[in-house]
């Protein structure tokens, strides 16, 4: 295992310390928790937004904390859901009386722990609503999940629900727009190499020298198919088609595109993928509203990428444009 770490058991805590040391004017770590919150949380008269996830997906989730996106991110251990008490601390820290909205990726542990945290918060009189993101079209059930998994499309939920909250939207309005994003966003990923959880010390799975896996999850959960590596164009075609097959787009519809790197894939390759994805969309008569290329939702040092399409209408486009000061999504 070649990693730049100290104690593999302490990577999350040390990462969070390094994060706060890097951005002390933007964020704070809640004492004795793994919660990173906006420095100025709770923000008065605003619905608070909380997201979470196991660590190892950086910049998700702390990188999306900031004005216009999340108020707090709860970090679990690597690839492990945060505990309910940690989520509860985050909820309390961002509630200004307008209620708190939770963005949850559809993994069994995350959903269960957020539900428990929600009950704890409601018992203290805090209004809580939530959305469960399940954008991954690859498989219906998987090792971590009942139903479809939540992957890179979650970043669009953070952005758009965060913008709605920043504009003063009510808890119900934030939920409505988050539900709209979830209904209109689809993704699929693929990997060339596995990744290694530091505390495990060895790769989570094995891929042969010339092999890739389509539909893999962001924790290395099994996908649809292992096969010989194809060209970038063939790959982009296959991924885009699988996403489109699950959407109901008509000629003239507009989409936002995210070509997401899983951690170790050079930006060069992501742009080569985008070249073909944008060509396919154009050939089919769909209009690309905006394209995001980079490492948005990673799996440690996994090599691979995912393709996300979000069908946008005027409301979603307007919310995408709203200023964000989140470190990993500035606009």
Q: How many residues lie near its own copies (CB under 8 A)?
A: 61
List, in sequence order, every residue forming a beta bridge with 153; answer none if it has no partner: none
We find the least distance from the C-beta atom of residue 169 to its own copies, in angstroms, to be 24
Residue 127: CB atoms within 10 Å: 16
The least distance separating its own copies from the CB of residue 237, rounded to whole angstroms, comes to: 12
Out of 81, 145, 298, 306, the residue judged to bind its own copies by CB under 8 A: 298
The piece of 6-14, 155-163, 176-184, 216-224 that touches its own copies (CB under 8 A) is 6-14
Contacts of 53 (CB under 8 A, 6+ apart): 60, 61, 73, 74, 75, 76, 81, 82, 105, 110
Q: Work out whether 204 is an interface residue with its own copies (CB under 8 A).
A: no
Q: Is 273 one of the binding residues for its own copies (CB under 8 A)? A: yes
Q: Which of 23, 61, 158, 219 is catalytic?
A: 219
Whether residue 158 lies in the annotated active site: no
Binding mask 10-49 for its own copies (x = CB under 8 A): -x--xxxxxx-xxx--------------------------
Sheet of 100-105, strand order: 27-29, 35-38, 72-78, 48-55, 100-105, 128-133
What string marks each residue from 222 to 261 as x (binds its own copies by CB under 8 A) or -?
Answer: -------x-xxx-x---------------------x-x--
The SS3 assignment for 187 reads strand
* Cα within 13 Å of Cα(27), Cβ side: 31
331 contact partners, CB below 8 Å, separation of at least 6: 321, 323, 324
Q: Site residues for its own copies, window 141-200 (CB under 8 A)?
A: 192-193
If one asks whether residue 330 binds its own copies (CB under 8 A), the answer comes out as yes
Residue 131: which H helix or E strand, with range?
Answer: strand 128-133
SS3 of residue 293 by DSSP: strand
Nearest Cα to 12, choosing from 35, 38, 31, 28?
35
> Is 61 known to be catalytic?
no
Q: Decide: 160 and 178 in contact? Cβ < 8 Å.
A: yes
Residues near its own copies (CB under 8 A): 2-6, 11, 14-19, 21-23, 55-56, 58-59, 63, 192-193, 209-210, 212, 229, 231-233, 235, 257, 259, 263-276, 278-279, 288, 291-295, 298, 300-301, 303, 305, 330-331
């Amino acid at each position: 295992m070649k990693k730049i770490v100290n104690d593999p058991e302490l990577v999350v805590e040390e990462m969070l310390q390094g994060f706060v040391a890097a951005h002390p004017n933007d964020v704070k770590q809640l004492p004795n928790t793994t919660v990173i919150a906006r420095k100025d949380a709770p923000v008065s008269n605003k619905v608070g937004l909380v997201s979470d996830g196991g660590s190892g997906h950086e910049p998700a989730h702390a990188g999306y904390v900031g004005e216009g996106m999340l108020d707090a991110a709860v970090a679990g251990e690597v690839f492990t859901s945060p505990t309910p008490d940690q989520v509860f601390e985050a909820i309390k820290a961002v509630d200004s009386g307008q209620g708190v909205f939770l963005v949850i990726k559809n993994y069994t542990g995350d959903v269960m722990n957020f539900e428990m945290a929600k009950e704890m918060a409601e018992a203290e009189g805090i209004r809580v609503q939530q959305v469960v993101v399940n954008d991954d079209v690859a498989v219906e059930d998987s090792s971590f999940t009942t139903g479809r998994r939540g992957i890179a499309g979650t970043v669009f939920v953070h952005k758009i629900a965060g913008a709605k909250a920043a504009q003063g939207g009510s808890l119900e309005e934030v939920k409505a727009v988050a539900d709209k994003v979830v209904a209109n966003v689809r993704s699929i990923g693929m990997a060339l190499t596995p990744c290694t959880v530091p505390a495990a010390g060895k790769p989570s799975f094995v891929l042969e020298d010339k092999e890739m896996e389509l539909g893999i999850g962001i924790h290395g959960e099994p996908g649809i198919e292992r096969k010989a590596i194809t060209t970038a164009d063939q790959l982009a075609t296959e991924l885009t088609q699988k996403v489109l097959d699950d959407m109901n787009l008509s000629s003239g519809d507009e989409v936002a595109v995210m070509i997401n790197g899983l951690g170790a894939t050079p930006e060069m390759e992501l742009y080569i993928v985008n070249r073909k994805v944008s060509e396919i969309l154009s050939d089919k008569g769909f209009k690309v509203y905006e394209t995001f290329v980079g490492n948005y939702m990673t799996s440690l040092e996994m090599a691979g990428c995912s393709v996300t399409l979000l069908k946008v209408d005027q409301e979603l486009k307007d919310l995408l444009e709203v200023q964000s000061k989140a470190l990993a999504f500035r606009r």
